[in-house]
Structure 1
Amino acid sequence: MAHALTTLNYSLIDDRDIFMLISTVREGIKYASFQTIADKSPFSLTEWSNYLHLSERTFQRYKKEKRTFDPLHSEKILEITLVYNKGVEVFGDQANFDAWLEAKNIALGGIKPKELLDSTFGIGMLRDELTRIEHGVLA
């Protein structure tokens, strides 16, 4: 299951994948699966805790107790994973997309794109911006 989550391609999701995502959210993501995702992302544990609105102490407890994230946190983990994978696809490689995430962006109000990952609305903005970049429409 963890491998499927880290290789999910946003633009290639079909109805079967949507139901798999819904099922994953409902069951919750196990900490070990989250760790696999986190290890492949450029985000620190501090950043993940900010994105998920969980304290670092709570993260440590989840890890120690091998806990499963609740549906809301699981959904946010999947949304971030999907938008990250989409960004890598649009930019052609991880290093280029990681650099874009770190650079202040005028089209996004002069903030770093990664600062938008703490809300569903921000993730949607990033998804829209990646679609514009993909299609050569730069605002």
Structure 2
Amino acid sequence: MVSQAVQLKKIKNIPNIRNYADIFFYIRNHTIDWSYLNYLKELTTFSDEVISDWLNISVKTLRAYRKPETTFKDNLKEHIVLILSLYEHGTSVFEHKENFDQWLNTKNVFFDGNEPKNYLDTIMGIKFIDDRLTAIEYGDNV
């Protein structure tokens, strides 16, 4: 059994979202399990309903997956790791996770007047949000 401290260190070492090869091998070489979902819940201020929408699963399934001994399909593992990696980038850009959550929850012209959080339900949406974060880093303040 891996200690909680060791597991948290692995989670915090998720590769940069823009490095697809590292993300791919991270997912292949790590056990993406309930602890990742619990960390995601700790990381964000969003509700289980919102997080389950991002992951395209029901709230009941999300809550069941947060218990030890659950296994995930590969596409869910990928989705979880990419959202966590995006959170690392967003927290870096906005300096605090609360500020990043606020940006995700604010209507934005680059997202057709929608909140960026509504784009987290697809891999391409996650990548698009990451591209916007990079633009903000380089001076595009929207």
State if a TM-score over 0.5 links the two structures: yes
Residue 4 of structure 1 aligns with which residue?
10
In the TM superposition, structure 1's runs of 4+ consecutive aligned residues that sit over 3 Å from their partners are 6-9, 11-18, 63-66
Contact 1:117 1:123 in 2 (8 A): yes
Residue 83 of structure 1 aligns with which residue?
86
1:101 to 91, 100, 104: 104
Distance 1:122 1:47 in 2: 15
Contact 1:6 1:37 in 2 (8 A): no
Residue 60 of structure 1 aligns with which residue?
63
Paired residue secondary structure (1:137): coil
Paired residue secondary structure (1:43): coil
2:45 to 38, 42, 60: 42
Distance 1:73 1:108 in 2: 24
Distance 1:2 1:33 in 2: 9
Q: Which deviates more, 46-55 or 71-80?
A: 46-55
Amino-acid identity (%): 29
Q: TM-score, normalised by structure 1?
A: 0.81
Number of residues of Structure 1 aligned to a counterpart in Structure 2: 136
Q: TM-score, normalised by structure 2?
A: 0.80
Structure 2: which 5+ runs fail to align? Answer: 1-6
The structure carrying a bigger helix percent of its residues is: 1
Contact 2:52 2:58 in 1 (8 A): yes
- Residue 113 of structure 1 deviates from its aligned partner by 0.8
